[in-house]
A and B are shown apart, each in its own frame.
Chain A
Amino acid sequence: MSIPSRLGKGLLALCATILIGGASLADEFPADSTMHRLAEAGKVRIGVKFDQPLFGLRNLRGKPEGFDIRIGTLIAEALGLDKDDIVWVETTSANREAFIQQNKVDMVIATFAISPKRKEVVTFAGPYIITGQDLLVRKGNPLGITGPDDMAGRKLCVINGSEGRNVISRNYPKAIQVGFDAFSKCAEAVKNGSVDAATLSAAVMMGYVSKEPDAFELVGKRFTDEPWGVGVTKGDLPFCEFIEGTLRQAAADGRYEKAYQETVGKYAKDNPPLPPLDPCS
């Protein structure tokens, strides 16, 4: 027997061990649970964003990267699955609820803010991070903007159909809204002075500041609270509790911190603990 084929046999044996290991993990879950189904299928579909820096952003090789992706990987690992067993499905802000309801994904981790309206159709595990809307301005803040109140009569860049745009329309109607479909355009508009500021979740905007620290800065005062959660099928409480358990365990053994530090934390320069988790409902 030649050496390569012996190596091949060894690999095969290794794979078999892993597979058997996976199967035994499936047996640890109640037979009719989502965890059991996923572990046995050896595949999990996770809905994520493909265009959000630091959270879910496709790299040039077409693979998503970011904090949301790391959280998804943690959960998959707890199911006894490997990185390669995860199918990343792109979700947009408009279709996250629909994808869960129509069972196109097993869970959604896509900068998905927990809100009473959404809770009517989706069960949330988490929050796994708490962020809020902030303002992005040109480096040095030449207009001295301290918060959304200063935006009256000034141009504020918003994303069409985003939570930020709704908040501005509701609470700060005097700001002149300039709407785009992607935040990179807002960032460019801030940079070349076409608008005075842009608004989005602070955590995402940090990615833009980090890439071009000579061009941007954040005002640093969040004017909303956005807890982001993992969305699962409405009423699947065992799966929700399993995810929350996984998050707690990851926080306890340092994997949560590591995931944060290697993505958002690189730029945020902070180290927030896992937020207190809401009870599953």
Chain B
Amino acid sequence: MSAVLDNLPIYVTGLAWTLLLTLIAGSVSLLAGTLLAAARISPVPLLRAGGALYVHVLRNTPITIVFFFAAFVLPQLGISLSYFTFAVIALSLYYTAFFCEAVRAGINAVSPGQAEAARAIGLGFGQTLCHVILPQALRSVVPPLINVLIALIKSTAVASAFGVAELLSNAEALANAESNAVLWVLGATCLFYLLLTVPAGLLASYLEAKLVFNS
């Protein structure tokens, strides 16, 4: 127990890095994922094909390998950044594919009549998407987006093996230093992750219940 309480600052620093990773990578991949979803339903065949290829490749690759490419292949290309930035890049690349699919599912859930009506009044593809489809898709897409976000929070743990001193990395160091209290140290780490993920999960359930009720 004291192994945890004495080292609380180490946990909190790790938690802060985990949170920062989540926020930056989450924003980037949400934005990029939405753009990619737009590409996947656009009138341009090559954009559609490229988008599909990206999603298939990234979704079927273990995130560890994506991290590896970000942290060790980018420097080979002459791109020299901090490992935190590499981790943000890896997480963003990977989760862009998942956010894209969640957004696309949301777009598919909007009634086809909406798109037809928009086209009937003379809106183009971009206008139809931005003014009619996406605002309505947003409603049904929020719970799945939060589920992807939860997955993202947990995936930040992989950054511990790639030079980022986030929550898990600090916990591992503690577990080694306090080798007689390993289970306490790990248990506390679990609690810190739950602090982030459980509220998000509850929010998703709440929103889902609300949306189902409304429709």
Q: Are B173 and A160 in contact (CB under 8 A)?
A: yes
Residues of B74-94 whose CB lies within 8 A of A: 75-76, 80, 83
How far is it, in angstroms, between the C-alpha of A99 and the C-alpha of B50 when the chains are bound?
50
Given contacts A193-B80, A194-B80, A161 and B176 within 8 Å (CB-CB): yes
Select from chain B the residue with minimum beta-carbon distance to A188.
B72
Beyond A185-B72, A192-B75, whether A161 also contacts B163 by CB under 8 A is: no
CB-nearest residue of chain B relative to A193?
Answer: B80
Q: Does A165 contact B (CB under 8 A)?
A: yes
Q: Give CA–CA (A157, B177) in the complex, Å.
A: 18
Residues of B within 8 A of A161 (CB): 172-173, 175-176
The contact string, 1 if C-beta is below 8 Å from chain A, for chain B 174-194, is 011101000000000000000
Once the chains are docked, how many angstroms separate the CA of A179 from the CA of B177? Answer: 15
- Contacting A177 at CB < 8 Å: which of B71, B165, B179? B165
Cα–Cα, bound, A188→B76 (Å): 10
Query: Chain B residues near A181 (CB, 8 Å)?
Result: 160-161
Among B80, B165, B176, max chain A CB count under 10 A is at: B176
B175: A residues at CB distance < 8 A: 161
A178 at the interface (CB under 8 A from B): yes
Q: How large is the interface on A (under 10, 10 to 19, 20 to 34, 35 or more residues)?
A: 20 to 34
Out of B72, B75, B160, B179, name the residue touching A179 (CB < 8 Å). B160
Contact status A160-B169, CB under 8 Å: yes
Complex: how many Å from CA A6 to CA B163?
63
Instruction: Flag whether B162 is at the interface (Cβ < 8 A).
Output: yes
Chain A residues closer than 8 Å to B169, beta-carbon distance: 160, 179
A182 contacts across to B, CB distance below 8 A: 161
A180 pairs with B162, CB closer than 8 A: yes
Nearest CB on B from A24, distance (A): 44
Partner of B165, one of A166, A179, A189, A192: A179
Q: How close is A270's CB to chain B, nearest CB, in angstroms?
A: 31
Chain A residues near B (Cβ < 8 Å): 117, 157, 160-162, 165-166, 169, 177-182, 185, 188-189, 192-195
21 pairs of residues in contact across A and B, judged by CB atoms under 8 Å: A117-B179, A160-B161, A161-B175, A165-B173, A165-B176, A169-B177, A178-B83, A178-B163, A179-B160, A179-B173, A181-B160, A185-B72, A185-B163, A189-B163, A192-B76, A192-B80, A193-B75, A193-B80, A194-B80, A194-B83, A195-B163
